[in-house]
Amino acid sequence: MITISVDVMGGDFGPEVAIPGVAKSLERYPDLRFLLFGIEEKCRPILEQYPKLQKASEFHHCEVSVRMDDKPSKALRHGRWRSSMWRAIEAVKNGEADVCVSAGNTGALMAMSRFCLRTMANVERPAIAAIWPTLRGESIVLDVGATVGADAQQLIDFSMMGAAMARALFEIDQPSVGLLNIGVEEIKGQEEVKEAGRILKATGLPGMRYHGFVEGDDLGKGTVDVVVTEGFSGNIALKTAEGTARQIAEYLRAAMSRTLLAKLGYLLAKSAFDRLREKMDPGKVNGGVFLGLNGVVIKSHGGTDADGFAAAVDVAHDMARNDLISKIEHDLTLYHNRPAIGGDLAEKSKE
């Protein structure tokens, strides 16, 4: 049995989206159990509309909720121990829940998660991993906004954590991993990226297959299972892809309504357009995973609908079922206990 703690108050719509979303995920995974954290007077009337969810969950009243515009420092200072976000994260720390899900303020969620769960041994910075739709299916991209900038060791950590997530989510033994760069040639790019690539190529960890450098267009192609970058460029790539999807959808909508003939053509091809809309819907792959912490936290889009929130809960289910934390810990231990490679980061740190 998997237990998921949910910050019901998080996001633009709070319990109006979170509770129906959790109920939808429960329909798909009836073995799930939930710990719901929120302000009772706002949540109870909605929760009572879902009797199956009531039976499969425990509701915990919280005094406050973290607002979407709260600064992380303020949220951590005033929301600790009392807010729905903190208590949902704390349930993972205390072993009461396997995973936490929230659509709340990203900065506050990361700050609270780091403070409450702490980073794993040998991990300096956590990362946010996003599930990315591609021409071949789906891939994982990280970091998409947890931290700006990364040195070679942090990129290597991201690679191992992303590969572990790919094994848990896609159920493949050796996911391919690529470092996002301005070219595929080994002489191109920043020194940190080139150094990380050299070490990943030389190390040959069994939990992944290092592909080499990939470029921006490889994200949509699905060239590799895991694309690794630092948070600044990763977040820009994510927002650009989401914006482009909405732009194309608007172009299609305008074109299909321009003339009577276009409207007729749309009706004849409606099923194809519906499939295209589903492929381009960011909500279908909703759920950023915080990696590198002593516990799993899933960040849902703040403006998502119930279907999107359900997708984030589904990701939480998959991460718990496939024991993501153990996979990451195993890979990190294997890497840091390996024999040193001449001139690698381990030797440099000793010097």
The reply to whether 298 falls in a domain is: no
189 vs 55, more confident: 55
Q: Could you report the per-residue pLDDT of 6-39, keeping only the tens digit for each?
A: 999 999 999 999 999 999 999 999 999 999 999 9
pLDDT of residue 349: 42
For residue 325, how far is the Cα from the chain centroid? 14
Residue where a domain terminates, one of 93, 117, 141: 117
Same domain, 150 and 257: yes
DSSP 94: T
Task: Give the span between the Cα atoms of 193 and 154, in whole angstroms.
Answer: 10
Is residue 346 a part of any domain in this protein?
yes
**Across residues 115-125, what is the average pLDDT?**
89
Q: pLDDT tens for residues 292-350? A: 999 999 999 888 899 999 999 999 998 998 888 888 888 888 877 776 654 455 444 44
Does 80 score more than 90 pLDDT?
no
Check whether residue 111 and residue 45 sit in a common domain.
Answer: yes
Q: Are residues 67 and 155 in the same domain?
A: no
**How far apart (Å, rounded) are the C-alpha atoms in residues 294 and 161?**
13
Find the CATH number of the domain harbouring 108. Answer: 3.40.718.10
Cα separation, 6 vs 225, in Å, equals 28
Q: Are residues 108 and 143 in the same domain?
A: no
Letter string b/e over residues 63-91, b meaning 16 or more CB atoms within 10 A of that residue's CB: eebbbbebebeebbeebbeebbbbbbbbb
φ, ψ (nearest 5 deg) of residue 177: -125, 130
Q: Note the pLDDT of residue 346.
A: 47
Comparing 78-87, 142-151, 240-249, the range with the smallest average pLDDT is: 240-249
Report the domain count for the chain.
Answer: 2
More confident residue, 136 or 294: 294
pLDDT of 197 reads 92
Q: Are residues 113 and 39 in the same domain?
A: yes
Asked, for residue 290, whether it belongs to a domain, the answer is no
More confident residue, 196 or 340: 196
49 located within any domain: yes
With respect to residue 318, please indicate whether it lies within any of the assigned structural domains: no
pLDDT at position 284: 61
Q: Please tell me the total number of residues recorded for the chain in this structure.
A: 351
Give yes or no: residues 237 and 141 share one domain: yes
* Bridge partners, 3 (sequence order): 33
In this structure, the answer to whether residues 151 and 275 fall within a common structural domain is yes
Residue 294, in any domain of the structure: no
More confident residue, 271 or 301: 301
Cα–Cα distance, 317 to 83 (Å, whole number): 24
Whether residue 187 is contained in a domain is answered as: yes
Question: Which range marks the domain in which residue 197 is found?
Answer: 127-285+323-351
Residue 204 burial (CB < 10 Å; 0-12/13-18/19+)?
exposed
Residue 209 exposed, middle or buried by CB count within 10 Å (0-12, 13-18, 19+): middle
Find, among 283, 240, 285, the residue nearest to 11 by Cα: 283
Please tell me the least confidently modeled range out of 122-131, 226-235, 331-340.
331-340
Q: Is residue 228 part of a domain?
A: yes
Tell me which of 69, 84, 117 is where a domain ends: 117
Cα separation, 349 vs 330, in Å, equals: 22
> 200 and 349 share a domain?
yes
209 and 104 co-located in one domain = no
64 and 141 in a single domain? The answer is no
Beta bridge partners of 210: 177
- Checking if the pLDDT of 112 tops 80, the result is yes
pLDDT value at residue 330: 82
Say what the pLDDT of residue 272 is: 67
Q: Do 75 and 142 have their domain in common?
A: no
3-state secondary structure at position 132:
strand
Mean pLDDT of the chain: 86
Pair (191, 80) in one structural domain:
no
Q: Which of 98, 117, 136 delimits the end of a domain?
A: 117
